[in-house]
Amino acid sequence: MKLLILSFYYQPDLSAGSFRTTALVNALLEQLPCDAHIELITTLPNRYSSFSSEAPELEEHPRLTIRRIALPAHKSGMVDQAKAFLVYANAARKVVRNQQYDLIYATSSRLMTATLGALIARTKRAPLYLDIRDIFVDTINDVLSRKKVWLLNPALSMIERFTIHSAKKVNLVSAGFLPYFTSRYPNQCYSTFTNGIDDEFLDAQPAAEKIEPNPVRVVVYAGNIGEGQGLHNIIPQLAKQLEGRLRFKVIGDGGRIGLLKEAIATHGCTNVELLKPVKRDQLIETYQSADVLFLHLNDHDAFRKVLPSKMFEYAALGKPIWAGISGYAASFVSEHIENAAVFAPCHVAAAVQSFETLNIMTRPRHAFVERFARERIMREMSKDVLSLTGTP
């Protein structure tokens, strides 16, 4: 048996897609028979231009081959990302040209890797399992101008239709995506295996309650700094309004970091520190030294359907969570995460009010951690993936 996995990001790259695919591959290797082989086609680490990590272009293991495609230097703009993807897609098609597969798996947030999987699956006449981490067509309706949407939407909708119809099964990372997909593709078969908590965060969870005595609270955000997060619309305003009471540490990079820097300067903030992306062990140390962990999604309709992967690692560390989110993510937090304050995205007054409701203490979240451990979720998902091959 031979499986093809397409994932634009993979370890040691820093992204939700990388962590998710790495965990799935490990789970698949546990489930697969000894004579099965996985071929994984990904890229050399490229998530952030300001972060680099070494990785070989080819890794050979007894039941796993990892091929990493070198990409041209790029930033977070759509044109740069499209060029980088074309390099990846062309290289992947060359790799698979003379190969046959029993199953193809593709994970995708911007649709294109999923579409590449659909093209290869149709060519090879192999079953396709798609893992959809975002609704790209829905998102661009919010983040692009009306003129660009008018030009792009018909073509992208057609690509999405081709891609989803090519799959034998589709997993949606957020159950909030279900209404969108079931209304458009009612005959497709869906599952909803979410993101989860990786072992590094399980190992770092607190053993007991601890009161945080710091008079000036340290609020940490770590992750992408893009249009989807909209940090430039909230952090400078909050920092200025709560000056003397809190200090922000923002760790990451992305297409809107320039706007964030401008907004910090415009508001005259002296209590916001911008730091470059770091490896996970350093990140966990920063989380553990924080008083509050911050999360924000921009005020767009598309983001009311998502469930940020960051939520899982934040919750595992037992820190208070301060989140500007709405829709499905807000409902998820309300149902599953204690000591989390939710406010309407980009709403400064609501954010300040919600901050006052937090208990500034570290407290284990045992029930959440047990339910959403990544290893358990990926073990169940790997069984679902392999069910397309007839493997029990």
The three-state secondary structure class of 295 is strand
Tokens (6 digits) for 10: 């993979």
Per-residue model confidence (pLDDT) at position 76:
59
Per-residue model confidence (pLDDT) at position 74:
59
List the domain boundaries for the chain.
2-196+373-389, 199-371
Alpha-carbon distance 11 to 376, whole Å?
19
Per-residue model confidence (pLDDT) at position 22:
96
Residues in CB range of 132: below 8 A, 6 or more apart: 108, 109, 114, 170, 171, 172, 173, 177, 181
**65 DSSP 8-state letter:** E
Q: Angle 315-191-136 (CA atoms, 0-180°, nearest 5)?
A: 75
Per-residue model confidence (pLDDT) at position 50:
46
CB burial class (10 A; 0-12, 13-18, 19+) of residue 280? middle
Q: Are 279 and 256 in contact (CB under 8 A)?
A: no
Per-residue model confidence (pLDDT) at position 249:
98
Residues in CB range of 69: below 8 A, 6 or more apart: 41, 42, 43, 44, 57, 87, 88, 91, 92
Phi, psi of 36 (to 5 degrees): -85, 160
| Average pLDDT per block of 10 residues along the chain, 392 residues long | 96 90 96 95 74 80 95 73 93 96 96 97 97 90 79 91 98 97 97 96 93 91 93 97 96 94 96 94 95 96 93 96 97 97 97 96 95 96 94 58
Per-residue model confidence (pLDDT) at position 173:
97
Per-residue model confidence (pLDDT) at position 141:
79
Question: One fold for both 2-196+373-389 and 199-371?
Answer: yes
Per-residue model confidence (pLDDT) at position 130:
98
What topology is assigned to 199-371 in CATH? Rossmann fold (3.40.50)
The structural architecture, per CATH, of the domain 2-196+373-389 is 3-Layer(aba) Sandwich (3.40)
CA–CA distances in Å: residue 159 to residues 118, 119, 162, 164, 179: 10, 11, 5, 9, 19
Per-residue model confidence (pLDDT) at position 75:
61
Q: Are 181 and 170 in contact (CB under 8 A)?
A: yes
Residue with tokens 């969108």: 180
pTM of the model: 0.91
